Chains A and B, each alone.
Chain A
Amino acid sequence: MTLTEAPPTPAAEPAGPPVRKPSARRRLVPYWLLLPGILWLIVFFAVPLVYQASTSVQTGSLEQGFEVTWHFRTYWDALRDYYPQFVRSLLYAGSATVLCLVLGYPLAYLIAFKAGRWRNLVLVLVIAPFFTSFLIRTLAWKTILADGGAVVDLMNTLHVLDVTSWLGWTESNRVLATPMAVVCGLTYNFLPFMILPLYTSLERIDGRLHEAAGDLYATPATTFRKVTFPLSMPGVVSGTLLTFIPASGDYVNAELLGSTDTKMVGSVIQSQFLRVLDYPTAAALSFILMAIVLLTVTFYIRRSGTEDLV
């Protein structure tokens, strides 16, 4: 193939783009496009939210029906009765988020910078657990952490369990039905939600920045501290949010891997709704959880100073 000199493009220099006044229909197009989304949000978010808010200030029983009596005390009672579960939810979700970050960051870094041609394979492996049901994956942990299983035996031999039991994370010589099992389950189940945003923001970092840092006599550690980590902050923030928010409302892990003293607030809401049939308390608990998570997240975003997530 020979390169031919491209003919000079005719100086198509119109006198500026024709000034077109957008017609009314054109101007409405964005709103029409938004309509399905807005309708979806109204039907599946706004309406249930209003309904739930209403339920939370009702009183009554299944048989007599519930009526709005503006009984705001329900909130106070719910908070007073179930604050241990709230504290626990935040604590477990927080621990799981930190663990996810500690485990996920190196892996995301590896995928973004070092994996080379294995990158896609490793990414698929990260996502692969999603191909099985959440419940099955959690139940698998019951087999892995079984009392007589290899993991617990190893931990016993290495006296790790003595330390964790002393800290109150495990119970004498078992891991299942302890706080540690719940946090491990949460960490495992939400790890991909941490890795993927971290990976996308790490992958975007221009490799030449590292070279430039090296040229300026920065050690690898300094480069990481001054260049890589700050540039990956959007990933860190969105990853932690994607992990923390669902983890704080989760109840499957606490239900399957935990015991009576590891129940999270999700379990309480479920049992109030389905077992006790105390809908107002359940609704109030949901709102309190929502408020706590919203406040925590707002505070966190303000502190981390990241405007654009991802």
Chain B
Amino acid sequence: MEQYEPEHLSPARLAAMRRSLTTGRGALTRRSMLRASGMGALALGGLGALSACGIPPAKREGDAAAAFDDHSAREKRLSFSNWTEYMDVSEDEKGRPTLEAFTERTGIEVRYTEDINDNVEFFGKIKPQLAAGQNTGRDLICVTDWLAARMIRLGWAQKLDPANLPHAFANLSSQFRTPDWDPGRAYSYPWTGISTVIAYNSKATGGRKVDSVTQLLDDPGLKGRVAFLSEMRDSVGMTLLDMGKTPESFGDADFDAAIGRLQKGVDKKQIRRFTGNDYTADLSKGDLAACLGWAGDIIQLQADNPDIKFAIPAAGYLTSSDNLLVPAKARHKTNAEKLIDYYYEPPVAAQLAAYINYVCPVDGVREELARIDESMADNTLILPDKEMAAKSHPFRSLSSKEETAYEEKFARLIGA
């Protein structure tokens, strides 16, 4: 290291200065230089970087930003992200019959990925790309109502072309046609309907029926063996119904009352946990005597454990759906639309419903389903009859502000 040494100093002073720079505590060594400059840079850069950061608004400007060059004609491909166990599988568990038939008919290669386990997690996964206006690499995704509503609100979904969706347009059940977050289904089509009902293990309840949220919250015989769902809309929606309110139109006061009601259940240790999908194992073992559950799960559970029963509360039950969306900047929108339309052909829809056992949103499936399995066509959890459909209520869509406030209150309720 070249050092600047003033010429007017005496040799002794120069030597002393050199010593001070090279040895001793104040030595100007490489390490101390590095340390000092590092600290300085960190301090300066830190402050600068701190204020330079910031998260830009997530909202994208309308369809102009969402739409993207459609490569469907040239690239006969499609990438489809779905939930686990949400697609029919052949008996040898190697193929997916309906998807394979689609590829055979249209020549469109489908890359099917089961990478959705949880709405909030999935949103966390795709958010960075969508917020930056980039392609997520997915052409079709399947998300629950509220997340679909949020994505449409943020301009992160592409508008679908009705010309490519003749079957879907004709066969969509009236129950699903006009959700308040996507009237007329301009952006989304339901993959399945979801009914939130009460499930109970009759062995664990001693043969008693559990058929109301009031019973879940107050029956001393169920103390500590009741679970609600960690999905805010399901737990609060069912409680609202039980209190005589309607989840499709309620206010802040109603919401707070429902939370208060659930809080009492937590405080007196009636409610054991708030669960995600894992309630199924607990219910089957009998650790949970009764809980809120999703109809499709319950049909699958019943196949293994005949003690599992379900009940539709007299006050009504909550319906929602998992919806197919084409995310912004997806490269193969037309291919995705073809796939949506394909699953709205009754024979295909029946084949899928027979396998996954969730509510089928397609009209005209009954005969097709009866051909596969007579008992399924009569199962109201798959094809709700008029009486049951009359009791179903959707949860209204929330503004971004409401969503944050409600989720915050619900998070407090469930302990986090």
**Contact residues of A with B, CB < 8 Å?**
50-51, 53-55, 57-58, 60-68, 70, 85, 142-143, 146-148, 171-172, 174, 176-177, 256, 258-263, 267-268, 270-279
Contacts of A54 in B (CB 8 A): 49-54
Answer whether residue B29 sits at the interface, using C-beta atoms and an 8 A cutoff.
Answer: no
Residue pairs across A and B with Cβ atoms less than 8 A apart, 26 shown, are: A50-B46, A53-B50, A54-B49, A54-B51, A54-B52, A61-B400, A63-B153, A65-B57, A66-B55, A142-B281, A143-B285, A171-B224, A177-B224, A177-B273, A259-B415, A260-B266, A261-B415, A267-B416, A268-B416, A273-B124, A274-B121, A274-B124, A275-B120, A276-B407, A276-B411, A278-B404
Beyond A146-B287, A275-B120, whether A66 also contacts B54 by CB under 8 A is: yes
Residues of A within 8 A of B413 (CB): 260
Within 8 A of A (CB), among B22-47: 46
The residue of chain B having its C-beta at the shortest distance from the C-beta of A81 within the complex is: B412
Residues A58 and B55 in contact, CB atoms below 8 Å apart:
yes
Q: When chains A and B are docked, how far (Å) is the Cα of A268 from the Cα of B411?
A: 8
Nearest Cβ on chain A to B183's Cβ, whole angstroms? 20
B272 near A68 with CB under 8 A, answer no
> Contact: B224 with A172, CB < 8 Å?
yes
Instruction: Check if B120 sits within 8 Å of A274, measured CB to CB.
Output: yes
Could you tell me which residues of chain B, from 98 to 153, have a CB within 8 Å of some CB in chain A? 120-121, 123-124, 153
Query: Which residues of B have CB within 8 Å of A263?
Result: 414-416
| Interchain residue pairs A-B with the least CB separation, the first 6 | A65-B57, A54-B53, A263-B415, A260-B415, A267-B416, A66-B55
For B, the interface residue count at a CB cutoff of 8 angstroms equals 45
CA distance A272 to B124 in the complex (A): 12
Q: How far is the CB of B278 from chain A (nearest CB, A)?
A: 7
When the two chains form their complex, are residues A259 and B272 in contact, meaning their CB atoms are under 8 A apart?
Answer: yes
Kindly report which residue of chain B lies nearest to residue A143, judged by CB atoms.
B285
Interface: B374 (CB within 8 A): no
B94 interface contact, C-beta 8 A = no
| Cα(A66)–Cα(B282), bound, Å | 41
Contact among B153, B408, B414 for A260, CB-based, below 8 A: B414
Q: Is B411 within 8 A of A275, CB to CB?
A: yes
Q: For window 262-288 of chain B, which residues contact chain A by CB distance below 8 Å? A: 266, 269, 271-274, 278, 281-282, 285-287
Q: Give B233 Cβ to nearest chain A Cβ, in Å.
A: 12
Specify which chain A residues have a CB less than 8 angstroms from the CB of B414 in the assembled complex: 260, 263, 271
Say yes or no for B13: interface residue by CB 8 A criterion: no
